[in-house]
Structure 1
């Protein structure tokens, strides 16, 4: 087992139209406005940005995200990531009743040296930290969608 390799899947049920949710998710430069753990997003061009995240644990991760796919009709936004984490992430937004179901998939390898050294004892804590970050993201997006 590679202790520095992670696969995540998170589902968010949101009481907003899928197109509205998709529009919010396709603007990562706005994430810091509604997602507390997304500290900064700096656009480099239309397809690439540098993102710094920090959740409950006292470490930040910075990575470059480059668009790998965008399909509004299918509700898919995908990026490739390099930096402190390397791999990919994908949002999939689909209709669910009167709202939307958002699925977030991510597969990454941790490259940040400190986290690599703590891989074995820290793995359960790192996974819990990710869950907390995703939970806060959902709450923040709900508030944001109600305000727009």
Structure 2
């Protein structure tokens, strides 16, 4: 009951190279996706193209709890910008796979997130609150798409882009 498998589909007008560059720059997540990423700290830079890069994350959703976990890049596709994979450890244990496909001017993004909850609150109450915990994840990903669209506009130098709200700590 503590297992979760989410597949998120995003689509936006962008090149896969633009999206790849933004999502791979994990240290910037709290700046442009502040509704979820409160703090990110690199603990190992990894090798060429970021393979093996390991970060500590402090994250939240709309529910009143936070998560502490690590992410390690396990696979990269820098030549065609088609995605990367990561391993999660800590309050989550599992893997995430980002896949990017260019279709004309649109970048289609799939995030396949398969994890087990290890944080006691999630681990022991999943049998009861799994739909609420799942809704929390879907909220976080909706916020991610909104934030990614704004970040693309900022990267492109559009002048009318609002600044992201400051992160709130719970």
Q: Same fold (TM over 0.5)?
A: yes
1:21 aligns with 2:10: no
Structure 1 residue 133 displacement after superposition:
0.3
Aligned match for 1:51, one of 57, 63, 88: 57
> SS in structure 2 opposite 1:57?
coil
Determine the structure 1 residue equivalent to 2:77. 71
**1:119 equivalent among 94, 117, 126:** 126
Rounded to whole Å, the distance in 1 between the matches of 2:57 and 2:82 is 22
Structure 1 moving runs of 4+ over 3 Å: none
Q: Which has the larger radius of gyration?
A: 2
Contact 2:72 2:86 (8 Å CA) reproduced: yes
TM normalised by structure 2 equals: 0.83
Residue of structure 1 equivalent to 2:39: 40
Distance 1:144 1:74, change over 3 A: closer
Between 54-63 and 65-74, the greater mean CA deviation after superposition: 65-74
**TM-score (norm: length of structure 1):** 0.95
The answer for unaligned runs of 5 or more in structure 1 is none
User: Which structure 2 segments of 5+ residues have no match?
Assistant: 46-52, 156-170
Change (3 A) 1:141 1:74: closer
Is 2:96–2:113's contact at 8 Å kept on the other side of the alignment? yes
The equivalent of 1:109 in structure 2 is 116
> How many pairs were matched up?
146
Partner in structure 1 of residue 93 of structure 2? 86
